Amino acid sequence: MNCSGCSPIYPIEDQGTLYLRPVFPVLLEMLRTLGVHVEHSDEAIWMTYKNAESVQNWLEAIQKHEAIGPESITVQVTPIHEQADQAGWISLQMMKSRFKHADLVSIILNNQFSSHMQPIVDAHEQIVGFEFLLRPSENGTPFSPYTLFEVARDTGLHSFLDRTARITAIETSAAFLPHGVKRFVNFLPSSIYNPEFCLTHTFEAIERLELDPKDFVFEVVETEQIQHMSILQHIFSVYRSRGMSVALDDVGAGYSTIELMNRLEPDFVKIDRSLIDQCDRDPVKQQQIIDIVEMSRRFGGRVLAEGIERMEEFDFCRSIGIELAQGYYFGKPSAKPPQGPYRQTSA
């Protein structure tokens, strides 16, 4: 996995060079049978193409060939006069996905997205921070953020998108928010295999823009079960060592269990909207929320209720000591935040 961006990642163009390795005689024979002009060395096979559909057909044929183990083949695509890069090889399946989702890959590689801000309020409904959420650029190609991240995962661009989205959020916060206002920025732990190395760009952006690290809260969002708890604990430690806070999102739903919360002891605990929805009318949900609040107090975590859409939900959350809230009741994600002043939070 390459989170550093050291190797160039090229968008899918209508012409370029496709590289394959290793050099199997049966693979060379198959490509020539398809009428492809093939060149090769001891290390790689390459062929130029003039339309993306040709490459898709070649990759499909390779994958279906019984005598070729497609899982053993790695590939890369470069502009027509560029050489293959040693760090640029990806699996055959990832490259197929890049061609299949070329439009979304282009959005990812060309940073054709923006950060929208959703307000976070305290118990007095004063804005104390914002969560930054990935959205299409103004007048840009529309997309679903969930779909974009799924395509990034399938195409090997997961770390690239996660890092770029973090930096976009940091830059947006610098443009609109004063010092002292919290900035909740999402990150995917599966994209960070070495925190000191992979988070370098994040820390450099905060320093370059002369922002206060204490204003940042980095928030775990993950749709997959966390396999290596020690890695996530290490990521938390690295963020905190730089003066930043950490949050666990969607607590009470999916993989963000109460057990996970107790093991990680985040600075902020965000209760999932599925628990908050109609919580004022549901005794079962109320008890679950109370349990989370009580457990958070044991390690000093501040609780934030997500998905507030009704005053009655907010009233219940305040009545049991929840300090922070977020949801459409207070404001939808927007490219520009509402006019201040904002209340600074001591957390």
Q: What is the pTM of this model?
A: 0.91
91 & 172 share domain: no
Output the six-digit token pair for 264. 């990680």
59 & 184 share domain: no
Residue 252 within any structural domain of the chain: yes
Mean pLDDT of the residues in the chain = 92
CA 246 – CA 217 distance, rounded (Å):
5
**CB distance 206 to 239 below 8 Å:** no
345 — pLDDT class (breaks 50, 70, 90)? low
pLDDT in tens, 66-87: 788 888 999 999 998 889 988 8
Can you tell me the mean pLDDT for 244-253? 92
149 & 243 share domain: yes
Enumerate residues 6+ apart whose C-beta is below 8 A from 150.
Answer: none
CATH assignment of the domain containing 31 = 3.30.70
131 & 269 share domain: yes
222 & 320 share domain: yes
171 & 130 share domain: yes
62 & 206 share domain: no
Angle, vertex CA 281, rays to CA 275 and CA 282, nearest 5: 50
| Residue among 145, 87, 146, 91 at smallest CA distance from 116 | 145
246 & 278 share domain: yes
80 & 151 share domain: no
**What was the pLDDT predicted at 221?**
82
Residue 6 within any structural domain of the chain: no
**CB distance 80 to 15 below 8 Å:** yes
CATH assignment of the domain containing 269 = 3.20.20.450
Residue 104 within any structural domain of the chain: no
Residue 105 within any structural domain of the chain: no
Residue 1 within any structural domain of the chain: no
pLDDT in tens, 192-209: 878 888 899 999 999 999
41 & 146 share domain: no
60 & 173 share domain: no
**What was the pLDDT predicted at 255?**
66
321 & 203 share domain: yes
149 — pLDDT class (breaks 50, 70, 90)? very high
Enumerate residues 6+ apart whose C-beta is below 8 A from 233.
Answer: 263, 264
| H helix intervals, the chain | 25-33, 52-64, 92-100, 102-109, 145-155, 158-176, 195-198, 200-208, 229-241, 258-264, 273-276, 283-299, 311-319
Residue 149 within any structural domain of the chain: yes
The residue with tokens 């890369």 is: 76
Domain residues for the domain of 286 are: 111-326
**What was the pLDDT predicted at 4?**
45
**CB distance 12 to 98 below 8 Å:** yes
Residue 154 within any structural domain of the chain: yes
pLDDT in tens, 264-289: 999 999 999 999 999 999 999 999 99
pLDDT in tens, 275-328: 999 999 999 999 999 999 999 999 999 999 999 999 999 999 999 999 999 999
**73 vs 344, higher pLDDT:** 73
Count structural domains, the chain: 2
Enumerate residues 6+ apart whose C-beta is below 8 A from 290.
Answer: 320
Residue 343 within any structural domain of the chain: no
